[in-house]
Amino acid sequence: MSKCASNWDVGCRVRRVRLRWAGVRSRLPADVIETLLKAERATRDRTGLTLTGCVNYGGRAEITAAAGRIDPLSVSEHAFARYLHVPELPDVDLLLRTGGDQRTSNFLTWQATYAELLFLDTPWPAVDRRTLWEAIEQYARRTRRYGSVPRIPDQPTFLSGHGAQTP
For range 35-50, the mean pLDDT: 89
What residues form DSSP beta bridges with 51? 19
Model confidence band, residue 101 (pLDDT cutoffs 50, 70, 90): very high
Determine the pLDDT at residue 89. Answer: 84
pLDDT score at 7: 60
From 81, 63, 79, select the one nearest 71 (Cα to Cα).
Answer: 79
Paired strand residues for 22: 54
pLDDT digits (tens, 9 = 90+) for 50-76: 888 888 999 999 999 999 999 999 999
Per-residue confidence (pLDDT) for residue 8, from 0 to 100: 59
- Residue % of the chain over a pLDDT of 90: 45
When comparing pLDDT for 54 and 117, which is higher?
A: 117
- pLDDT computed for residue 5 by the predictor: 56
Residue 162: per-residue pLDDT: 52
- Distance (Å, whole) CA 125 – CA 81: 31
Mean pLDDT of 138-166: 68
Q: What is the rounded average pLDDT of the residues 119-134?
A: 91
* The one-letter amino acid at 154: D
User: Where residue 12 falls among pLDDT bands split at 50, 70, 90?
Assistant: confident
Give the amino acid at 160.
S
Averaging pLDDT over each range in 35-39, 68-72, 91-95, which range is the top one? Answer: 68-72
**Mean pLDDT across the chain, nearest whole number?**
84
In this structure, the dihedral spanned by the alpha carbons of residues 16, 22, 25 and 29, taken in order and rounded to 10 degrees, is: -60
Predicted confidence band at 145 (pLDDT cuts at 50, 70, 90)? Answer: confident
